[in-house]
A and B are shown apart, each in its own frame.
Chain A
Amino acid sequence: MTSDQEVSTSIRLEACAKTFDDGTRALEPIDLEIAGGETVVLLGPSGCGKTTTLRIIAGLEAPDPGGRVLFGSDDVTPLPIESRNVGMVFQSYALFPNMTVRENVAYGLMVRNVPKPERAVRVGEMLAMMHIEELADRRIDQLSGGQRQRVALARAIAVRPRVLLLDEPLTALDASLRERLRIEINDLLRSLGITAVYVTHDQGEAMAIGDRIVVMRKGVVAQIGSPKDIYYRPANAFVADFIGTSNRLTGHLSNGALSFQGGSIPWQRSEAAELTVMFRPQDAEIVAPTEAQIAGRIANVYFLGDRTKIILEAIGQGPIVVETTAQADFVIGSNVGLKINPDRIFEIDGET
């Protein structure tokens, strides 16, 4: 943004656990390293500890004794939020109802005693950047949800925070607006080069925004990786199921093939007697029964417009989902073959 801003701050969490006063163990000790300028998404089902992790980074919650939070090389663990210089964006926007849009955006600069002329310039820049100049003198209750979130973003970045923390900023918006703002936020984070932590339970949002995704489950990190890693190389069945639809096949390994109900696939990559592999619905195709090593029966067909979703039964332990763009007629009850792209089959830890 400007030359006086330091190089983007990295964030490090060391053994940060959280036990609330009522005894709720929200977070097991977690270690997390976020590089300067990186956007990391915390993703997971409700109650897994995403918000708690974010609030520990922000300084709104203290980690259990022993945990440390570092911004760059500064240990900020004992600092309250007002001294950490973080920008926060809330799901509920949390805009000040007694102030106009301009006053909201200027608030952080005002409490920092930035001189009035400079304040006005900076606020003008922010309003222009978020395309809300014409709303400057409106009251908050005269704004739509999308406009409110833009004001909230402008307010958070106006103070040039060291890190930007966003807790489900788009959840309260409707689908098409969510899509548009997601792109805007993505562009904004890239152009500011600011270190950002983004909480969501929407895997599509996580994929689109995150340089890396931290998948959490019950207060534990299930996997950390790039969106591609997480999608194609899920560390375990939980991650595989949480990120998109996945099919799992558990069977016995013998003579270089993994066999299960309905057929087998060649498998040379491990020695275990029993193992689980997974593949994505779009990495398999329906063929004639004679052309494949796996045979099943079509249980259901859903036409989705650009794609068709087919549910197969009599393969492995559960239903298998296949998505195809082929225009063929799929008849419920007919016997078909299943062909899986061998490069897109991965062994995973079958425990959920």
Chain B
Amino acid sequence: MKHSEYPRLILLMLPVAIVFLAFFLLPMARLILIGGSGENGFSEYLSIFHTPRHFESLVSTVLLSAAVTIAAVIISAVTGVFLERNRFPGREVLISMLTFPLAFPGVVIGFLVIMLAGRQGLANEISQALTGSRLVFAYSMAGLFTGYLYFSIPRVILTIMAAAEKLDPALEEAARSLGASRWQVIRDVILPALKPALIASGAIAFATAMGAFGTAFTLATNIDVLPMTIYTEFTLNANFATAAALSIVLGTITWLALYISRSIAGSTVAAAA
């Protein structure tokens, strides 16, 4: 690059730089500072790990998000590859139905879970009719899991279908000609080829689950996910420093997860190229 091009380049970068500064860096810096402005100072960040309520909230959010991510990736991988491989009447309708929840806000998804697994829900009615026992899980971890899974699947499945479309059928045929069973073909050919898509879409699903609020809010469960805890600290307790510190921790963990998965996916993409 010629030296004379630098001023022009800087000029072109200016709008992005301003937006980045104004809407990202400055609020972030402010948030970090607020997190340290409480009576505990910057040890507020550490207190999250000492306050049982906060720490439990953090752990359960991470576990829930991880479980939802794994389940969503497995379900979407099987379904996505199947949908990509098979042509049947109603396929298009099924795909658009699977991706439907993309447009729903969390509140609607929480509402759907209540209709499914609430006291007057479908699951309960069926269970009462069949076995006579009550089945209500909308307000438990299972309800949260169901709701989160519901909005995670569409995000994952579209990415996986796009990757499955690019699978080279000759690779599978080559493996089979060498004597590989169906399971060995999946293990040695299909999964390695889908790996970057699985990791990338899994990372998105994880980040979305970590930050999800509406669903948890609507279900008003007794499990506090981190966004709910932040909301409580902020609006009810007016505890700005704690809310800010929790936000930063939430953001950092999610960012770390994305970063790690990106570097894993990046190295496998290079290996697969």
Contacts and interface: CB of A to CB of B under 8 A. Distances in A.
Interface of A: 58, 60, 80-82, 85-88, 90, 92, 94-99, 107-108, 111-112, 139, 141, 155-156, 159
Contact of A111 (B170, B171, B184, B192): B184
A156 B174 CA distance: 9
Given A97-B272, A98-B272, A107-B188, A82 B181 contact: yes
A90 B174 contact: yes
A88 B176 CA distance: 10
Interface string B228-249: 0000000000000000000000
B92 interface: no
A186 to B, nearest CB: 22
A96 B176 contact: no
B175 A107 contact: yes
B178 interface: yes
B166 to A, nearest CB: 12
Contact of A88 (B177, B189, B193): B177
For A85, A87, A107, A141, which residue has the most chain B Cβ atoms within 10 angstroms?
A107
A96 B177 contact: no
A81 B175 CA distance: 10
A88 B184 contact: no
Contacts of A141: 273
Contacts of B271: 97-98, 139
B179 A94 contact: no
Contact of B178 (A92, A97, A139, A159): A159
A144 to B, nearest CB: 15
B173 interface: yes
Interface of B: 168, 170-171, 173-181, 184, 188-189, 192-193, 268, 271-273
A107 B179 CA distance: 9
B192 A98 contact: yes
B179 A159 contact: yes
A94 B272 contact: no
A146 B146 CA distance: 52
B177 to A, nearest CB: 4
A93 to B, nearest CB: 8
A111 B179 contact: yes
A155 B178 CA distance: 8
Contacts of A80: 176
B18 to A, nearest CB: 41
A139 B268 CA distance: 12
Nearest to A112: B179
Nearest to A84: B177
Contact of B179 (A85, A95, A97): A85
A58 B178 CA distance: 11
A82 B168 CA distance: 18
Contacts of B171: 94, 96
A293 B273 CA distance: 65
B273 A88 contact: no
Contacts of A88: 173-174, 177
A159 B177 CA distance: 10
Nearest to A159: B178
Nearest to A113: B179
B177 A86 contact: yes
Nearest to B191: A98
B173 A81 contact: yes
A108 B179 CA distance: 6
Contacts of B178: 107-108, 111, 155-156, 159
Nearest to B173: A60
B176 A81 contact: yes
Contacts of A95: 174
Given A85-B179, A95-B174, A96-B174, 19 more contacts: A58-B177, A60-B176, A87-B177, A92-B170, A96-B175, A96-B188, A97-B271, A98-B192, A98-B193, A98-B271, A99-B188, A107-B178, A107-B188, A111-B179, A112-B179, A141-B273, A155-B174, A159-B178, A159-B179
A111 B174 contact: no
Contacts of A85: 179
A174 B180 CA distance: 32
